[in-house]
Amino acid sequence: MMLMSVLLAGCAGGTPDCGDTDALQVLDRAIEMEVKEYASQTRRGTAEEFMGILENYEITNIRTLGHDADVDSYQCDARITYVFQERKKSVDFAYRVDTDQADGNILVEYQKKMLNPIFGYAMGF
């Protein structure tokens, strides 16, 4: 399982849960970076059309699979749906939300497969 991590500013109220705005912002930023990276390489349509993915994707079916109260960590899963040129692709993926014990920053780790449809759209799959 491939995971990526992104830190957010600290949170005074403990670790945010799976559907918390701060946790979802990490996923949004990852999607935005991936779309921007592949927009100029797309083999379908224009770069501007490809950037439209950022207006059409949706994260749904957010679920908390578990909460470890000892370390205040959440195990989560969700579904992301992308639409590009009337082609819709959905991917279920897992992610984890933690708080860094050293500095209090929020740490979100997610499966990179959530980004796979973006690459597929760019390469014409």
- Could you count the other beta carbons within 10 Å of the beta carbon of residue 121? 23
Task: Record the pTM.
Answer: 0.82
Higher pLDDT, 26 or 79: 79
Summarised one tens digit per residue, pLDDT across range 4-33 is: 455 555 555 788 999 999 889 888 988 898
Of residues 2, 29, 20, the one with CA closest to residue 99? 20
Looking at residue 67, its amino acid is: H
As a CATH number, domain 3-123 is: 3.10.450
**In sequence order, what are the residues at sequence separation of 6 or more whose Cβ sits closer than 8 angstroms to the Cβ of residue 15?**
72, 73, 74, 97, 98, 99, 106
Specify the residue for token string 């109220």: 13
